[in-house]
Amino acid sequence: MANELMVLLTAMAPISELRGAIPLGLEVLNFSISKTLFLAILGNFLPVPILIYLLEPAEKFLRRNKRFNAFFDWLYKRTRHKFEGNYLKWGELALAVFVGIPLPATGAWSGVAAAHIFGIPKKRAMIFIFFGILLAAAIVTILDLGIAGWLKLL
């Protein structure tokens, strides 16, 4: 059970998320694909509702400090400038794609922040973040199995 918890916690962590949990389950712990995906998807989604509902009160609390207020103003301006075109063009589907493309600074945690910044309703944000998690899980699994297959041939 400790190994399953390791995959679950790796998927919950803001930096590793699915990108770390799936290779851990498949390559290091030799779990089946279904077991790995279940643990990784569950672990990656578990923090989402908590973060979505805590982000706004946490931001309001932190904005009482002048430096945090300036930071949030900068972050919102930068994020809106960088991604507003995609959001206006694709709507909430852009959130799912943003979460689903397994690159640095993307994923469920970043998706929660993006949903908050763009004012996406919480329940809808959770749905699109979940779809993004499914997309990321598929991409990471395919890449992992492909890379692992090539490595086994060497």
This prediction's pTM: 0.88
Query: Which residues does 36 contact at the CB level (< 8 Å), separation at least 6?
Result: 7, 21, 22, 25, 26, 141
Map out the domains of the chain as residue ranges.
Answer: 46-153
Task: Render pLDDT for 122-140 as a digit per residue (tens, 0 to 9).
Answer: 999 999 999 999 999 999 9
Q: For residue 57, what pLDDT is reported?
A: 95
Quote the CA–CA distance of 142 and 106 in Å, as a whole number.
Answer: 18
